[in-house]
Structure 1
Amino acid sequence: MDARSIAESQKGLRTAASSIRMDRLDQKRRETAFTKELTIGEASRDISDGSTRPGHHRNYGAAVFDLIVAALPLYFVAFAFLAYAQNGTRVDLPLNQVLLKMASFNPTAFPIVFTLLSAKFIKSVANWKLERSTSVGTIQSLLGSRSLATSIITPFKIGVFNFAVLIGIAFWLLDPVGGQASLRLATRDSNSTTLDANFDYLDINTSPFGLLDAPSRLASINGAFNAALLSPASSKNGSQDLYGNLQVPLLEVLKDSQKADSNGWYRIAELVNASESSTSTTALDQFLGLDNDADPSADVTASAYASLVGMPFLQESSSDGVPSTASAVNIETQFSMESSYFYADCSVEQSGSTEDSNDFASSIDTGRGVVSNGRQFSMSYDQNHTTNSTQPRAVVFTSWNGHSSGSNGDITTATCQLTTTYIEANVYCATNSSCSILAMRASLLDHPKPSLTQLDGIAPTWNATSNHTQSERHAIPELFFSGLINATGNETDETGGLSPIECYFLHPEDPYSCDGNGQYTLYSIRNDLFSYRATQLLNTYWLANIAPFSVTGNFKPNNTRESGVSRAVQGQVRVETTVLRCHTHWMILLVAISIVLFLAGMATAYLDATRKIPDVLDYFANSLQYNPYVHVERVSSMEEGAERARRLKDLRIQMGDVRPDDPAGYIAIGTPGYKQPIRMVSAERRYR
C-alpha cells in the first residue's frame, strides 16, 4: 500500500472518531435538556399548584409571645434591687429568706432564660437579613451561633471568620457570668455592732467586817473553802471555776515567762483560743483595746491562778440598743476590772525531826501570833505588823509528818513574805459563755504599799470608819489564820496523815488523799510551787470569808447578805448578727446583662411582628419544598415552617439513591414507594 492510501485511511479514522464524539455530545445535550425540562416543568407545576396566601403584615401572635418572653429578665432586675434594698438587714426576715431561696434557684433559671432569649433574637436577625438579601455564610453563621459551643465551632466548619463571630462568642460568655452573678449577688454575711454595757464584779478590797461581826457565817465560809479544795483539776487550772467565776492568773508567773507590751499588758493562754472563735487576733486585740506589739515569742501558756475560786461577775440586764440575738452568730463582751490578791513568796526547808508528838506540840508557841490545828500543823504570823510597816508580813507554815507510818518525824518550815499584788485584768466572753482573762498588767491606779494586805485593815470602807481600834485590826489576821488552819480538819478522825491544807501542797488535784499510810515531805517541794499553792490557799479562804455566797454561784449586786461587795464598771458588747449582704459588683453585672436580654427580647418581638416572609430557617420540612423526588400535596409558599412540619410530620422520607437503575446513581431525599424507588447507598456503586 502506498503512502497516499495510508494517509487517506488515517483521515477516515479521524473523521469517524469525531462523528462518534459529536453523537455522544448530542445525546448528552438531549438528556440534560430533558432533565432540565422535567425539573422546570415540575417546578412550574409546583409553583402553579396549591393555595395562595398574602404576605405577612403583622405577626401579632408571635409578638405577644415574644413580649412575654422578653419580660422574663425583669425578674432578675427585680431580684437585684430587692436584695440591694435589704442589704444589711437581718437574714431571718421573711423577705430575706425568700431572696436567699431565689438566689439558690437563679443559677438554674438564668441560663434557660438567657438561651431562650438569645436564640430567638439571633434567629429573628437571620430572618430579617434573609428578607433583605444576605450571603449564605451570614445566615449559616447566625444559625450556628445559638449556643456558646456552636458559636465557636461553626466558623471553623463554614470558614467564616469576622468581627461578628467574636461578638457572638463574647455575648454567649455573658451566660455563665450572669448565672454566677444571680447566685452570688445575695449571700449571708456577718455584721458587728459594738455597744456599751455595764458589768458588776466582786470587789476583793471590800471591808472584812464579816470576820468580826458574823461568826455564824463560819459554816458557809468553810463550806465554800472545802468545795474549792474538792473541785476538779479542770476548775482549779481553768479560766473559770465550777460556778463560772473568773480565775485570776498570777502576774508574777506571767512576768517570768514573757515581756509586756508597750502598755504593760501580758497575754494569757486563753487569748490564743479566743482568737480562734473571734474574727482574728488583730480584731480581738482591737476589741479588747490591746496593742499589737506583744512579744511574738512569748510563752503565753505558762500561767498559774491566784485562787481556787474565781471572781464572780455578771452583765447588767439593761440592753438598750443591743440588736436582737435571734439571728446572732456571735456575742462577745469585754470589760476591764481592778482587783488584787495576796502573794506569798515562800522559802521551804527541813527544820529538824522528832518522833515524839509531844516534843513537836510543846515546840509550838500557842501564844498570840500562832495558830494550830492541835496536832501536826501550825501557822505563825507577825502580830506586830501595822499599816505603818514597810516590810511584808511574815507568815510561817510548820508541818510535822510524825503521824505517818514509816516517817522519821521530819519537820517542814516554810517562811513566806505576804504582799499584795494589784492588777488590771481584761476580761473577754465569747458566745458560748466561755469567759476568761485574756490580758493582765499591774494596776495603774493609786494603792496602798504592796507590803500591806487586807489583813492589815486597809480596805477603803474600813479606813473611812474612824471608830476601829488597833486591837480590832489585829483581830483580822488572828480570825483569818485560825479559821484557815481548822477549816478542813484531818481527812478522818485518825491521828495519822496530813490535813487537806498540808496535802494540797503535795497533791493539789486531790488534797484529801494524804492518809496515815504514806511518807510526806513538804520540804521537798520547790520554793516557787510552794509559793503558788500557799498563795492559792490564802486567797481562796479570803474570798470565802468576804463573800461565801457570791463565790459559790450566788453573786448579785446589792445582795443583802453580802452588801457592798460588788463594783460596777462599763464594758462593751459586740453582737455579730447574720445579715443579708448584697454585693454591688455582682448586682451591676446582673442588672446590665438582664437589661441587654430584655432589649434583645423587645427587638425580637419587633422583628417577628414586622417580618413578611415565612419563618423557614429552623425546619427540616422546608428542604422538601419543590423537591422533585418528594411526592406531597403542594400548598402556598407562604406556609410557615412550623405549619409545614406539622402537616408533613407523618410523611415517610429517605435519603438514598433515587436512580437505582442508572449506571451512576444520584443521592437525594425522596418519598420511597412504587412511584419513586430509593435504594440505600452502596460503597460499591458510583454516584453523580
Structure 2
Amino acid sequence: MADRPAHDYEAQASEHQSHATNLITASPLLITDKHTIAIQGWPPSPRRIRSPWWIIVWNVIFDLLLCACAVAFLAFAGIVSHYDQASTAENPQTTAMLLNATKYGPTVFPILFALILGRATHTILRWRLESGERIGVLDTLAASTSLTSTLVSQFQLRAISLCGIVLVCIWALSPVGGQASLRQMVLDTKATTQIASFDYLIHHGYMRPFGAIGTSRSSIKEIANTIFTGGIIGSLASKPSPVDTWGNVKIPRIEYYESKGDPDGEGWFEAVDGTSDSYASMIGIPVSGTNSTHFVNYKTTVQTPYFNTACLLTLRPSEILPVIPNGTFHINGTGAMVTYENATQMRRSSSDPETLGPLQFRYSTLLWTRNNHELDCNLSSSYVETEITCPERTTCMATKVRRSRLGHPRNNWTQLDLHWETPSQFFLYLLSSVSGKQGWPTTLDRYMSNPDTLITVDKLDGRYVGSALVLTSNENYSVRLAQLINSYWTIVGGMYMIAGGISNDTSYKDNTISFVPPENPRGVGIWYQFSSPANFTGKTWSSQGTKDVQTEIIIARKPWVITLCISSIVLILASLVSPVVHFLFIKGPEVMMNMSSLATRHNAYIPLPEGGTHLGASDRARLLKGLELRFGDVETGSGVGHLAIGTVDRKGLDEIARIRKGNLYE
C-alpha cells in the first residue's frame, strides 16, 4: 500500500487528541529526529531488495533436505511393498532397516510434516499478501501451523472457508501418515508344505526273543513289565490322552467310532475327544520323523493291527479255583489264569488262515470273594489306517481312523497264530507282568473293572487295602482286556523303541508294507514264515506325509502402504512449494508473522527511523530485538481510550497506558 501524505496523518492525530495544537504529531513519518528511536545498524539510505547469498544457500539446502526426507518416506512404502512376502532370514539387513524405520516413523513423520507444510503455508501467505488477497484467506493461512490450530481457527475467525477445509484435510494426513509408517509392515510366519518321510512301529508278532530269556537276561522281562505297568497305571488325565506316558501315539479303536456314527465318503472317522475306552491300547506306537524344530504340522498315516476281544462274563462265587477241562492248556498267574484248547491252538499255526475261526480262551480270576468270575473270549484282529497329526514335534495325536485298505488275512487270524508256542508264552508274561497275592484281585482285574479307580484304596478292618473289585459289563470287559493284551503285545514288538524312540539300535526297517506274512512252502509245519528279530529290536514301516516349514516373512498391509504413499506424495509436493513460489512469484523482502515484521511497519505509535522498509524479516528481527512494545491505550488523556501497539519508550510522547477494566475504548 502506498504511503499516505503527511497532512493525513496530522489530521488523524488531531482527531484523536483534543490538545493536538500543543503536541507534535504521533506519526513516525513526521516526527522530528529527536522523537525517533535510535536503532543501531538501521540503514540510512534506500537499498535494493536483495537476500544475502548465505541465506539463499541455506534455504536451498534446507528445502532439498526436507524434500529428501519426504522422498525417503515414499521410498519406505515402496520398499515395504517390494519385500512383501519376502523371508526375513534371506533379507536380514533389509528387515532390520525396515523395523527401525517402523519404530521411528510415527515420531519423525508428524515433525517433518509440520516443518514442510508450515513452511509451505507461510510461503503461500507471503505470495498472496504481496499479490493482494482477502484478509479472511490471509488469516486462515497465518493460523495454519498445525491440525489443531487450523481447525480451531475456522471457528475463531467465524468463517469456515474452502481454503480452511482444504488445509484441515491436508493437515489430517500428518497423524494418519505417522500411523501408516508404523502399521504398513508386520512380521508373520508362512507355512510351506513339504513332503516328509516317517517311520513307525509295526508289530512283528514274534515271542521267541522273550522265550529265550534265561536267568542272565531276566532284566529284559522286568523292563517290559515296568513299561506295561507304567502304561496302565497313571493319572486320570493320562487315560483319555492321545499319547502314552512316553509321548507315543495311541491308536484309536475303530469299533468305538463305528458305534457312534457314520464315516465320511472315504471311510474316515474323526478321532477327537477320545476317552479311555476309545483307544486300542494304553501303549502308543513310536513315530519318527517329527524331531526337527524347523518344521510344524507334521501329518502322515500309519497302518496298524490290533487285537479285538468279545467276552462273556460268568460268575463263579463258590469256587476259588476254576475247573480245568481236559485237553486245555492253562497258564497261571498271581490271582488269575488263562486256559485255551491246546490241540486246536497247535493246529492254528499250520492251518489255512482263511479257514480259521476266532481264537477262544478263558480268563479266570482266583479270588476269595463272591466276585470270582470267568471271561470266555473270542480273539480276533482289526486292521486300521490312522491319520497322525503333530502341530508341534512333541504334540502328536491320532486325528482320523478308518479300516485299513491294505491286504490282510481274515480277522479271525491273529499274530498269536504265527507259531504254536506264541500264545502260551504271551499269556504267561502278561499274567506275571504284575505282582499280587493269590486270592486278591490283580492290577489286571482292577483295570478291567474300572481303569479310573485302579490305584484307589478302601479301609477294611482298620487296614488300607485295594478298592473292592466291582463287576462291570461284557462290553467293558471286552474292551479293557483287549487294551491289556494290545499294550503288552506292543511292548513285545518294540520294547526299546517305546521308551527310547526309533533308531538304528532299537529298530530294523521292513520295506514290505503288507499285513500278510510270506507263506512257507507246503509241507512245512507252520503256514507263515517265522523269523525272529535279534536283540529285541522292533520292526518299522515307512510312510509318506507332509510337514510345514515356518518361514518368517515381511507382510505389507496394502491399505496402510497406500495411505503412506499418498501422505508422502502430498509432503513432497508441499516441500516444492517454498522454492518454486520464492523463485517465480515473491519479489519483496522476507516477512514473518511476528511483531518485528508486521506490527512495526508504518505504525504511528512506533517511531522508527526513516527507511528500512526493504529489510528482510531476519534483519528487522535482529535490529529491533531490544525494542519494547506494549498493546495498550495510546490516548490516556481522553475519556475514551484508543488501543494500539506502540513503544513503551515514547521519546517525549505520552506513555501508552495499560488496559484497564471498565474503561471505554474506541
Q: TM-score range by the shorter chain?
A: 0.7 to 0.9
Judging by fraction of residues, say which structure has more helix: 1
Match for 1:528 among 444, 469, 475? 475
Q: 1:79 to 1:411 in 2, by over 3 A?
A: same
Q: 1:261 to 1:583 in 2, by over 3 A?
A: same
Match for 2:331 among 368, 371, 379? 371
- Work out the CA distance in 1 between the residues paired with 2:19 and 2:387: 106
Match of 1:657 in 2: 633
Q: CA deviation at 1:440?
A: 1.1
3-state DSSP of counterpart to 1:257: coil
How many pairs were matched up?
594
Q: 1:677 to 1:396 in 2, by over 3 A?
A: same
Higher mean C-alpha deviation, range 562-571 or range 41-50: 41-50
Q: 1:591 to 1:90 in 2, by over 3 A?
A: same
Q: 1:381 to 1:605 in 2, by over 3 A?
A: farther
Q: TM-score, normalised by structure 2?
A: 0.80
3-state DSSP of counterpart to 2:451: coil
Within the alignment, does 1:197 sit opposite 2:200 as a pair? Answer: no
- Work out the CA distance in 2 between the residues paired with 1:629 and 1:164: 34
**Aligned partners of 1:110 and 1:179 also within 8 Å:** yes
Match for 2:340 among 356, 370, 381? 381
**Aligned partners of 2:643 and 2:665 also within 8 Å:** yes
**Aligned partners of 1:200 and 1:316 also within 8 Å:** no
3-state DSSP of counterpart to 2:314: strand
Match of 1:265 in 2: 268
**Aligned partners of 1:210 and 1:546 also within 8 Å:** no
- Work out the CA distance in 1 between the residues paired with 2:452 and 2:606: 102
Match for 1:246 among 239, 249, 266? 249
Match of 2:445 in 1: 502
> Which 5+ residue runs of structure 2 have no aligned equivalent?
1-13, 509-533
Q: CA deviation at 1:545?
A: 1.8
Q: CA deviation at 1:372?
A: 1.6
Q: CA deviation at 1:222?
A: 4.7
> Which 5+ residue runs of structure 1 have no aligned equivalent?
1-26, 271-299, 320-324, 458-472
Match of 1:401 in 2: 367
Q: CA deviation at 1:111?
A: 0.9
Q: 1:497 to 1:119 in 2, by over 3 A?
A: same
Match of 1:225 in 2: 225
Q: 1:49 to 1:454 in 2, by over 3 A?
A: closer
The letter for the 1-side match of 2:540 is S
- Work out the CA distance in 2 between the residues paired with 1:188 and 1:110: 22
Q: CA deviation at 1:184?
A: 1.4
Match of 1:585 in 2: 559
3-state DSSP of counterpart to 1:88: coil
Higher mean C-alpha deviation, range 674-683 or range 504-513: 504-513
Q: CA deviation at 1:424?
A: 0.8
- Work out the CA distance in 2 between the residues paired with 1:247 and 1:662: 106
Match of 1:686 in 2: 664
Match for 1:451 among 412, 426, 429? 412
Within the alignment, does 1:618 sit opposite 2:618 as a pair? Answer: no
Q: 1:400 to 1:32 in 2, by over 3 A?
A: same
3-state DSSP of counterpart to 1:73: helix
- Work out the CA distance in 2 between the residues paired with 1:603 and 1:365: 111
Q: String of CA shifts for 1:494-517, please: whole Å, max 9, x gaps.
A: 545233323332353575778997
3-state DSSP of counterpart to 2:641: coil
Aligned runs of 1:105-124 on 2, under 5 Å? 105-124=104-123
Aligned runs of 1:416-427 on 2, under 5 Å? 416-427=377-388
Q: CA deviation at 1:632?
A: 4.5
Instruction: Give the alignment's Cα RMSD to 1 decimal.
Output: 3.3
**Aligned partners of 1:86 and 1:580 also within 8 Å:** yes
**Aligned partners of 1:665 and 1:686 also within 8 Å:** yes
Match of 1:642 in 2: 618
**Aligned partners of 2:628 and 2:649 also within 8 Å:** no
**Aligned partners of 1:377 and 1:398 also within 8 Å:** yes
Q: TM-score, normalised by structure 1?
A: 0.78
Aligned runs of 1:206-217 on 2, under 5 Å? 206-208=204-206, 210=208, 214-216=212-214
The letter for the 1-side match of 2:324 is I
Q: String of CA shifts for 1:599-633, please: whole Å, max 9, x gaps.
A: 22123123234532122242122302222322445
Aligned runs of 1:56-67 on 2, under 5 Å? 56=50, 59-67=56-64
Q: String of CA shifts for 1:121-150, please: whole Å, max 9, x gaps.
A: 111111122222222222222222332233
Q: 1:521 to 1:224 in 2, by over 3 A?
A: same
The letter for the 2-side match of 1:350 is L
**Aligned partners of 2:313 and 2:375 also within 8 Å:** yes
Q: CA deviation at 1:451?
A: 1.6
**Aligned partners of 1:428 and 1:436 also within 8 Å:** yes
Q: 1:159 to 1:367 in 2, by over 3 A?
A: same
**Aligned partners of 1:350 and 1:413 also within 8 Å:** yes
3-state DSSP of counterpart to 1:548: helix
Q: CA deviation at 1:687?
A: 2.5
Aligned runs of 1:273-422 on 2, under 5 Å? 304-315=278-289, 331-354=296-319, 360=321, 363-365=323-325, 368-373=328-333, 376-383=335-342, 384=344, 386=348, 387-402=353-368, 407-408=369-370, 410-422=371-383
3-state DSSP of counterpart to 1:574: strand
**Aligned partners of 2:28 and 2:602 also within 8 Å:** no
**Aligned partners of 1:241 and 1:309 also within 8 Å:** yes
**Aligned partners of 2:205 and 2:416 also within 8 Å:** no
Q: 1:339 to 1:31 in 2, by over 3 A?
A: same
**Aligned partners of 2:633 and 2:657 also within 8 Å:** yes
Match of 1:128 in 2: 127
3-state DSSP of counterpart to 1:424: strand
The letter for the 2-side match of 1:87 is D
Q: 1:140 to 1:32 in 2, by over 3 A?
A: farther
**Aligned partners of 2:366 and 2:438 also within 8 Å:** no
**Aligned partners of 1:382 and 1:393 also within 8 Å:** no
Higher mean C-alpha deviation, range 252-261 or range 43-52: 43-52
Q: 1:71 to 1:314 in 2, by over 3 A?
A: same
Q: 1:302 to 1:238 in 2, by over 3 A?
A: closer
- Work out the CA distance in 1 between the residues paired with 2:305 and 2:649: 110
- Work out the CA distance in 2 between the residues paired with 1:209 and 1:95: 62
The letter for the 1-side match of 2:430 is L
Higher mean C-alpha deviation, range 559-568 or range 533-542: 559-568
- Work out the CA distance in 1 between the residues paired with 2:608 and 2:326: 132
Match of 1:481 in 2: 427
Match of 1:53 in 2: 47
Q: 1:160 to 1:36 in 2, by over 3 A?
A: farther
Q: 1:120 to 1:44 in 2, by over 3 A?
A: farther
Aligned runs of 1:86-165 on 2, under 5 Å? 86-91=83-88, 93-165=92-164
**Aligned partners of 1:62 and 1:609 also within 8 Å:** no
Q: 1:643 to 1:414 in 2, by over 3 A?
A: same
**Aligned partners of 1:257 and 1:302 also within 8 Å:** no
- Work out the CA distance in 1 between the residues paired with 2:312 and 2:408: 27
- Work out the CA distance in 2 between the residues paired with 1:562 and 1:29: 121
- Work out the CA distance in 2 between the residues paired with 1:554 and 1:256: 34
Q: CA deviation at 1:201?
A: 0.2
Q: CA deviation at 1:344?
A: 1.2
- Work out the CA distance in 2 between the residues paired with 1:435 and 1:237: 14
The letter for the 2-side match of 1:436 is M
**Aligned partners of 1:77 and 1:594 also within 8 Å:** yes
- Work out the CA distance in 1 between the residues paired with 2:455 and 2:145: 85
Q: 1:228 to 1:643 in 2, by over 3 A?
A: farther
Within the alignment, does 1:545 sit opposite 2:492 as a pair? Answer: yes
- Work out the CA distance in 2 between the residues paired with 1:29 and 1:501: 119
Q: CA deviation at 1:547?
A: 1.9
Q: CA deviation at 1:574?
A: 0.9
Match of 1:170 in 2: 169
Q: CA deviation at 1:486?
A: 2.4
**Aligned partners of 1:86 and 1:96 also within 8 Å:** no
The letter for the 2-side match of 1:497 is W
- Work out the CA distance in 1 between the residues paired with 2:338 and 2:180: 77
Q: CA deviation at 1:100?
A: 1.5
- Work out the CA distance in 2 between the residues paired with 1:213 and 1:28: 133
